[in-house]
């Protein structure tokens, strides 16, 4: 793998189902050494994780990074809050946007880019239950349409 390629570590599968994505941001993340080693093994979980602005800084809450298997007593706390690294003007913009009702910051994926760990963060609006059912119905209808066209093409 070349150094300039992106290598995905983990992605938040539920995010696109539960939220309507409005904007995306690429952020850095402040990690301990054993966390990076654990991420190289692909040991991260986004379940119930979210980001929030606290004291003009953006923090990632609830992301689980398993302890490094070859670590010692200095291994990291798997559930600790992690600081996300953004430019000051991006943080100001997010402060304004998250004050609006219904908007939240959701991590979408975690990946390596040029040897650094990056988080794709999304400004998102929560979907209602009927929106989720509507999206599922649309996806099923699209699949059925593609299946019918494929069947016609094969028989012709």
For the chain, list the domains and their CATH numbers.
6-126 (2.40.280.10)
Size of the chain in residues = 156
DSSP 67: P
- The phi-psi region of residue 69 (left if phi > 0; otherwise alpha if psi is between -120 and 50; otherwise beta) is alpha
Per-residue pLDDT tens digits for 28-61: 999 887 888 888 888 888 888 889 999 999 999 9
Beta-carbon contacts of residue 43 (< 8 Å; ≥ 6 apart): 65, 66
pTM: 0.74
pLDDT of residue 1: 46
Does residue 4 surpass a pLDDT of 60? no
Per-residue pLDDT tens digits for 71-114: 666 677 778 899 999 999 999 998 888 887 778 899 999 999 99
Question: Across residues 132-142, what is the average pLDDT?
Answer: 84
């Amino acid at each position: 793998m070349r150094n300039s390629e992106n290598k995905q570590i983990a992605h938040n599968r539920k995010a696109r189902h539960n939220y309507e994505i409005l904007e995306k941001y690429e952020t850095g993340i402040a990690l301990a050494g054993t966390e990076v080693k654990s991420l190289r093994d692909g040991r991260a979980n986004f379940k119930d994780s979210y980001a929030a602005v606290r004291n003009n800084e953006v923090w990632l809450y609830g992301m689980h990074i398993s302890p490094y298997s070859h670590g010692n007593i200095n291994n990291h706390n798997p559930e600790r809050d992690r600081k996300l690294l953004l430019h000051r003007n991006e943080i100001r913009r997010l402060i304004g946007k998250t004050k609006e009702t219904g908007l939240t910051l959701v991590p979408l994926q975690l990946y390596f880019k040029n040897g650094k760990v990056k988080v794709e963060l999304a400004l998102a609006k929560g979907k209602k239950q009927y929106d989720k059912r509507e999206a599922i119905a649309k996806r099923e209808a699209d699949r059925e349409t593609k299946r019918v066209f494929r069947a016609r093409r094969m028989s012709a």
